[in-house]
Structure 1
Amino acid sequence: MAGPSVGAAAASPETAAYRADQGPAPFRGRPRGPFRKDIEGLRALAVLLVVLWHADAPLVSGGFVGVDVFFVISGYLITRGMVAEVAERGRLSLLGFYARRAKRLLPSATVVLLAALILTYLFLPDIRWRETTGDVVSSALYFVNWRLADRAVDYLAAEQAPSIVQHYWSLAVEEQFYVIWPVLLAGLAWCAFRSSTKRRGFEALAVGLVALVGLASLAWSVQLVETDPGRAYFVSTTRVWELAVGALLALLPLRPAGTWAAALGWSGMAAVVGSAVLLDTAAPFPGMLAIPVTVGTALVIVAGRATRYGPVVLLGLPPMQFLGGISYTLYLWHWPLLVALTARVDDPGVTARAVVVALSILLAYLTSRIVERPVWHSPGLSVQPRVAIAVGLACTVVAVQAGMIFRLATAPQAEGAQVLWGGPGAAVLDAGATEAAVPVDRSPIVVPDPSVARDDLPTVYLDECHASQAETRVRRCVYGASAPATTVVLIGDSHAAQWLPALQSIAERRADWKVITYTKSSCPYLDIEVADDDGKPYRSCVTWNQGVRAAVAEDRPDLIVTSSFNYSAYRDGRVLKGLDNESALVESMRRTWLDLARVAPVVVLRDTPAPRIDIADCVSGNRDRLTKCAVPRDEALAGIGQLQAKATRGAEGLHLVDLTDAICPADRCAAVIGSVLVYRDTNHLTATYARTLAGRLEQRLPLAAR
């Protein structure tokens, strides 16, 4: 999923740190400051927005903005502490800083990572186990946000269920900030205190640096959210400016009072709550839309405790103070528990979600009391920063090792379940025995095993012949005979690519076929522009199509095969819908394919039925209830197939081949036919099942190609 829909806000790992360690100098850090009820309550508001959003509560469709609140608070508190230390001592102890972070963050984070592995084993289908281990390891090492950014733009992973530790992404952003920002401030302090300017020079240099970095990050955020929104949501570079806003608050003497402070504070609260209510996962976020919540949070912090009529009246209430005190651990716990719930219950109601949220609060409180606070306030760790760092490193090692052990322990069930047997698949239907495709609860064996079905791909992916959504370069691969009697060209998107195993099987059997592939993710071979996943013009597809047309002409094929998934045309600055879209697509299909027919006969493979549920994931979790993964045939057929049939009707040189009767011949589309898993995700055939369709496909090709 691109954008906020695949994200999760995280409670700031730093925002509880304004009660400084009371160990002896120099490890004590900064002098104790006055307790900020407003910040404690602001943390509670942020974590409430996130938890309620994840629990599908009404009126908080933009609850993901809670992460932005935490980023601003973290930037403020982390910088305030370091500035106070520099003012007091003329330098910044990096060893002390990292020791405080290690003992503050890592114990609780490690406990929940270990719990996530247990929940994965108990509740999640085994298809998710392998991916989870990598997510746990990258979370423990605090680079999971970059891993998720890559996944967000990975077409093959776009519709997979979210990771049980996906919420660690924002912790990773903050940790990366914590690695770099103290080093920069320490360098500025060293430069300033070597000159006569000292503290004033240090703060001036820091303000300039923060402003420069923040503006650059904001500009990049605005740019990337337009061109690559999935990646923009997760990467650190688009979020640094929000931390920088908080850092500026700590560096600038902004202290409004009285009515003015109250007005600023309530304006800030309105901006935060308004963003949570008005935004949703379709919003291009962060970018410009993150400015209101970021500035709003800053205004609440600036207002502070300056007046009893300000937001502190609300934020200082006992329930808000309680939730603020456990916001870090509450954030850690709530998401894994919700993922475990939704993995076992198809549509959990309000009651079930409320129970999970209540359980999250209980576990958060216990973790805070038993793990977080004892380690954070340990006198021994306060005296010895090296010991605190060692404890943090030990936590990281434990989490990484646990992930690796989990991978090894579960590998025999996941990867070992794949057997070297192709299964009859669609062959069981050759005699017209459609009852063999009626959904049943059990199959003696399923090939490929659903736990590894994601890897059952056409060879164009392994051979790096399938162009990504961002690419315009035409990738060409050749399979089959070197001196063929028949040359077949396969063109289109991933729904065209899924037919390659069947064409390869025909080529192997005939020994005189050569198959050439030109495929690209989410890009149909049409002469009109279509919209991409974000509703914007898919310009790289237009360029790619132009290159493919020239390449096909040079190949001089005997047969051209194409297919595609459903798309929306983009015309005159808007996405076409309804009948306008259908008309535009049919006209373009007919025009484009007739143009291809001047080169060679064209076979249009009617698009396969689309279950629109993750079949591999469903079968993985319901091996004894396969009927739960069956979907109504009429729903699965509600796609582009009818338009393809209309576009080819009566056109000379165009041949529609419809193999729906070998994929979903019954009233409900079965997940497993002839012991073969039909789909690897929500709409793509497994390579194994496509291969079992080779005989039927060959029979329905134009006579000249048989």
Structure 2
Amino acid sequence: MSDTRSPAAKTFFDDIAGLRGIAVLLVVLFHAHVPFVTGGFVGVDIFFVISGFLITRLLIREYERTGSLSFKGFYARRARRIIPAAALVIVVSTIGAALTMPLLKVFKQAIDLLAAAAQVANWHFLSQNADYLAGAIDGSLATHFWSLSIEEQLYFVWPLAVFGAAAIASRTALRRHVSMRVAVGVVVGAVTLASLIAAIRITPTDPATAYMATYTRAWQFGVGGLIAVVAPLFALRWKSPRITAAVAILVGWLGFAGIIVAATMIDAHTPYPGTAALLPTMGAALVIVSGQLFPASARAPFAPLRPSAGRVASEPLRPSVGRVASEPLGEEAYRDQSHRPTLTVARLLATPPLTFLGRVSYAWYLWHWPAIVLFETVTGASSWPVLLLVSLVALGIATLSTLFFEEPIINNRELRRNASASISVGVTGVVVGLTVTMIAGILTVQIASRDTVANAALSYQSVFGNERGEMAGPVVPNPFQAYDDRPEPHDCLIPVGESTAGHDCTFGPDHGTPVVVFGDSHADQWSEAIRSIGASHGWRIHQFTKAACPAQNLAPRRGVGDPYNQPECLRWRDGALADIQAVAPRIIFVSSLSTYVPDRDDVEQAWDDTLTALRATGAKIVYIADTPYPGFQIADCMSGAMDNWHKCDFELDGFTRIEPILDEQARGQSTDILTIGVNDLLCDGNLCFPARNKILFYRDDSHLTATAAEVLEPALVRQLDAARFDYGGR
């Protein structure tokens, strides 16, 4: 919060320190699942605004004093302030994962933490189609680094943008017409507007990208930057201190109320950031403006303006804010004590408890999330009072980290004097973080390579023809290989966020019997098995599958941001049904996840709509019953359960499964549809197993491995044969 290299006055904003405290408190309460703080994640938005204000202010003031910017000095301060503390948390988190988590999960944590050390955590999670608000990365120790990565990326480019604008305005013919601040304001304003438009446009179609991409969050940084640009206006003397006080009170509390409303009314189902992020962002901006209008400092809030060396004469000076090192102001500067407001939000934020939280906010933000994840991993406890207690313990750790690690580095006299040394400290922190996480990843792979089945030639008979037999030892595929053990070609399952397949998904002889495979990823998991069956019967197979897009025509649900509810999914299903009609298939294999929504009436109507469209083709419909849904990463679990696979058992009815076709057939209805399934092979009654006789059934929390589907193919054929199925579709 201070420019330690500057010869000018060093200013500490107590109210902004308190605002940092509010921001980190909201984030912690949200992560601890404290009731009513459903939008606590907006604390990150507040951090962005604060950072934009402080960094832009620092850069502008330096350019005004020197006519240039010391990029080396800027990056040295950032390296000293940010990287060592983050590197410490990354190293400790890696060790914690190694001590508490199964092998494959340690590997995944190492990869996530590696991205955090490289300052690209947000792009790493986006590459995995991970939606923060949907809880897709709740189990990662590096989840919270997405926002820190955005700040680091903006710190890299922001000084270049400010310097470029300032230099054009002060070193070209434009200096006669445009001031340096106006030029910087134009550039920052343009970036802010472009970023805001991008965020609003992308949120409905790709909420994960809108939430974690740097270019959709830069506008919040820019809002803070614009306040810094217009800061001299806050020094203009009003007709009366009373007016200034009244404006400060009104603006400040209005902004604070906006933050509180956002934190309690917004939730994970709110399309975010979109337009919803305007509320906490502008709330934070108003709070900062209030503090600039009427500082929280009890000393001389309306001191006479005095010229300062190096200051551009035409710009009004801002009154002293907070503790000013080189220009102490006496009480004679402010005689009318009756005008000093006691009701400004800045006064609240400048109270010791909040400024203390602001002081340790960075460390608390870093430590609280790994503490929560590791605690849940070890104990399984996730109630909010317990997690809040864990977060308070993390606050204690953060305090120690701040006092005995972070601040000694920040305040080290030699590091403050020597920019090269500060940069070296930052580089060392990055290297240590990268090295530790890479070593952890390499070691886990080496250890996992020992657990490999020597003879991987498995068949239906070897797996299901015997008693359950082995329930310990290596499996095929190895848990580290399971995620990639999926049907080929991968591109025939259209990914989330895309609308067309990246491959020609028609298989078999040109004039073969037209057959369709239709549904989501739970239909795709059977695609190779169906193609194998079709190869013996001359089928021409057309595959229409899209990840997270159910075959059943689920209507959009208000306030739900899940992929199945997105316009791209609705358009794909309508287009696929039209294309299926054009194919004129004789046989249609259809399958879909049975746990999309818990409302039976909605699901029944959705299936009625889809089956009506499929029946209109005149094809024979084969419904493949949905496979058991573990709801947790089986491969992760198995990587730590090679000595006893039963550690990863789960219940078939652990999630609400709704399959109207099966219910109707139990009542003697929908008899024109043939149903087949393999759940009796994967479960014993209500108890389902992750593996059997050397074969791993699941590649993730829901889908069968391609190996398992291949081994289960004979079970499908036997059921088709038992039903005297006509493979010619007649």
TM range (shorter): 0.7 to 0.9
- Taking the aligned partners of 1:513 and 1:416, their CA distance within structure 2 comes to 41
**Which stretch shows the higher mean deviation, 585-594 or 177-186?**
585-594
Q: Say whether 1:82 aligns with 2:49.
A: no
Following superposition, the deviation at residue 160 of structure 1 comes to 6.1
**Which stretch shows the higher mean deviation, 349-358 or 496-505?**
349-358
Query: Which residue of 2 is the match for residue 662 of structure 1?
Result: 681
Query: Which residue of 1 is the match for residue 468 of structure 2?
Result: 436
Q: Say whether 1:605 aligns with 2:605.
A: no
Query: Which residue of 1 is the match for residue 333 of structure 2?
Result: none
| Cα distance change of structure 1 residues 398 and 284 upon mapping to structure 2, 3 Å threshold | same
Name the SS of the counterpart of 1:211 in structure 2: helix
Following superposition, the deviation at residue 183 of structure 1 comes to 0.8
CA contact 2:622–2:673 (8 Å) conserved in 1: yes
| Cα distance change of structure 1 residues 421 and 159 upon mapping to structure 2, 3 Å threshold | farther
Query: Which residue of 1 is the match for residue 548 of structure 2?
Result: 522
CA contact 1:606–1:641 (8 Å) conserved in 2: no
CA contact 1:423–1:447 (8 Å) conserved in 2: no
Matches within 5 A, 1:638-677: 638-640=657-659, 642=661, 646=665, 654-677=673-696
Query: Which residue of 1 is the match for residue 277 of structure 2?
Result: 290
Q: Could you tell me which amino acid in structure 2 is paired with residue 406 of structure 1?
A: A
Name the SS of the counterpart of 2:277 in structure 1: helix
Following superposition, the deviation at residue 65 of structure 1 comes to 0.6
Name the SS of the counterpart of 1:133 in structure 2: helix
- Taking the aligned partners of 1:387 and 1:198, their CA distance within structure 2 comes to 40
Following superposition, the deviation at residue 498 of structure 1 comes to 0.8
Following superposition, the deviation at residue 203 of structure 1 comes to 0.5
**Which stretch shows the higher mean deviation, 38-47 or 384-393?**
384-393
Query: Which residue of 2 is the match for residue 25 of structure 1?
Result: none
1:470 paired residue among 487, 497, 505? 497
Following superposition, the deviation at residue 696 of structure 1 comes to 0.9
1:690 paired residue among 709, 712, 718? 709
**Which stretch shows the higher mean deviation, 46-55 or 665-674?**
665-674
- Taking the aligned partners of 2:632 and 2:115, their CA distance within structure 1 comes to 28
- Taking the aligned partners of 2:273 and 2:656, their CA distance within structure 1 comes to 36
Following superposition, the deviation at residue 225 of structure 1 comes to 0.9
- Taking the aligned partners of 1:158 and 1:384, their CA distance within structure 2 comes to 43
Following superposition, the deviation at residue 284 of structure 1 comes to 1.0
Following superposition, the deviation at residue 159 of structure 1 comes to 4.9
Following superposition, the deviation at residue 237 of structure 1 comes to 1.2
- Taking the aligned partners of 1:546 and 1:52, their CA distance within structure 2 comes to 42
Query: Which residue of 1 is the match for residue 103 of structure 2?
Result: 126
Name the SS of the counterpart of 2:543 in structure 1: strand
Q: Could you tell me which amino acid in structure 2 is paired with residue 381 of structure 1?
A: L
| Cα distance change of structure 1 residues 312 and 527 upon mapping to structure 2, 3 Å threshold | closer
Query: Which residue of 2 is the match for residue 459 of structure 1?
Result: 488
Following superposition, the deviation at residue 201 of structure 1 comes to 0.6
Query: Which residue of 1 is the match for residue 28 of structure 2?
Result: 51
Give the structure-1-normalised TM-score: 0.85
Query: What is the CA deviation profile of residues 208-253 of structure 1, one whole-angstrom value per residue up to 9, with x for unaligned ones?
Result: 2222221221111111111211111100111111111111111112
**Which stretch shows the higher mean deviation, 634-643 or 420-429?**
420-429
- Taking the aligned partners of 2:568 and 2:650, their CA distance within structure 1 comes to 34
- Taking the aligned partners of 2:177 and 2:679, their CA distance within structure 1 comes to 75
Give the structure-2-normalised TM-score: 0.82
Query: Which residue of 1 is the match for residue 520 of structure 2?
Result: 493
| Cα distance change of structure 1 residues 298 and 636 upon mapping to structure 2, 3 Å threshold | closer
Q: Could you tell me which amino acid in structure 1 is paired with residue 698 of structure 2?
A: Y
Query: Which residue of 1 is the match for residue 592 of structure 2?
Result: 564
Q: Could you tell me which amino acid in structure 1 is paired with residue 727 of structure 2?
A: A
| Cα distance change of structure 1 residues 594 and 342 upon mapping to structure 2, 3 Å threshold | same
1:398 paired residue among 419, 427, 432? 432
Query: Which residue of 2 is the match for residue 300 of structure 1?
Result: 287
1:322 paired residue among 342, 347, 356? 356
Gaps of 5+ in 2: 236-242, 297-340
How high is the sequence identity, in percent, across the aligned residues?
33
Gaps of 5+ in 1: 1-16, 22-27, 569-575
Following superposition, the deviation at residue 423 of structure 1 comes to 7.6
Q: Could you tell me which amino acid in structure 2 is paired with residue 443 of structure 1?
A: A
| Cα distance change of structure 1 residues 700 and 583 upon mapping to structure 2, 3 Å threshold | same
Following superposition, the deviation at residue 184 of structure 1 comes to 1.5
Q: Say whether 1:592 aligns with 2:613.
A: yes
CA contact 1:334–1:357 (8 Å) conserved in 2: yes
2:260 paired residue among 261, 268, 273? 273
Following superposition, the deviation at residue 647 of structure 1 comes to 11
Query: What is the CA deviation profile of residues 153-205 of structure 1, one whole-angstrom value per residue up to 9, with x for unaligned ones?
Result: 699x9856532112111111111111111111112222233258489710011
| Cα distance change of structure 1 residues 208 and 632 upon mapping to structure 2, 3 Å threshold | same
- Taking the aligned partners of 1:477 and 1:194, their CA distance within structure 2 comes to 58
Q: Could you tell me which amino acid in structure 1 is paired with residue 234 of structure 2?
A: L
| Cα distance change of structure 1 residues 644 and 381 upon mapping to structure 2, 3 Å threshold | same
Q: Could you tell me which amino acid in structure 1 is paired with residue 214 of structure 2?
A: S
Following superposition, the deviation at residue 628 of structure 1 comes to 4.9
- Taking the aligned partners of 1:529 and 1:75, their CA distance within structure 2 comes to 41
- Taking the aligned partners of 1:199 and 1:144, their CA distance within structure 2 comes to 43
Query: What is the CA deviation profile of residues 33-64 of structure 1, one whole-angstrom value per residue up to 9, with x for unaligned ones?
Result: 33221111111111111112111222211110
CA contact 1:453–1:616 (8 Å) conserved in 2: yes
RMSD value over aligned CA atoms?
3.4
| Cα distance change of structure 1 residues 418 and 518 upon mapping to structure 2, 3 Å threshold | farther
Matches within 5 A, 1:496-515: 496-503=523-530, 506=533
| Cα distance change of structure 1 residues 679 and 417 upon mapping to structure 2, 3 Å threshold | same
| Cα distance change of structure 1 residues 534 and 152 upon mapping to structure 2, 3 Å threshold | same
Following superposition, the deviation at residue 450 of structure 1 comes to 3.1
**Which stretch shows the higher mean deviation, 192-201 or 180-189?**
192-201
Query: Which residue of 2 is the match for residue 190 of structure 1?
Result: 167
- Taking the aligned partners of 2:506 and 2:700, their CA distance within structure 1 comes to 25
Q: Could you tell me which amino acid in structure 2 is paired with residue 503 of structure 1?
A: I
Q: Could you tell me which amino acid in structure 2 is paired with residue 498 of structure 1?
A: Q
Query: What is the CA deviation profile of residues 383-424 of structure 1, one whole-angstrom value per residue up to 9, with x for unaligned ones?
Result: 222222222222222222222222211112235534354486
Q: Could you tell me which amino acid in structure 2 is paired with residue 247 of structure 1?
A: G
Following superposition, the deviation at residue 687 of structure 1 comes to 1.9
Following superposition, the deviation at residue 695 of structure 1 comes to 1.2
- Taking the aligned partners of 1:618 and 1:254, their CA distance within structure 2 comes to 58
| Cα distance change of structure 1 residues 198 and 309 upon mapping to structure 2, 3 Å threshold | farther
Following superposition, the deviation at residue 137 of structure 1 comes to 2.5
CA contact 2:524–2:545 (8 Å) conserved in 1: yes
- Taking the aligned partners of 2:343 and 2:109, their CA distance within structure 1 comes to 47
- Taking the aligned partners of 1:695 and 1:535, their CA distance within structure 2 comes to 33
Following superposition, the deviation at residue 619 of structure 1 comes to 3.5
Query: What is the CA deviation profile of residues 439-494 of structure 1, one whole-angstrom value per residue up to 9, with x for unaligned ones?
Result: x9x52333333344222212232xx2221233333555569876998775433211
- Taking the aligned partners of 1:415 and 1:513, their CA distance within structure 2 comes to 39
Q: Say whether 1:358 aligns with 2:395.
A: no
**Which stretch shows the higher mean deviation, 110-119 or 495-504?**
495-504
Q: Say whether 1:224 aligns with 2:202.
A: yes
Query: What is the CA deviation profile of residues 624-651 of structure 1, one whole-angstrom value per residue up to 9, with x for unaligned ones?
Result: 5644533333345722364685599666
Q: Could you tell me which amino acid in structure 2 is paired with residue 523 of structure 1?
A: C
| Cα distance change of structure 1 residues 578 and 363 upon mapping to structure 2, 3 Å threshold | closer
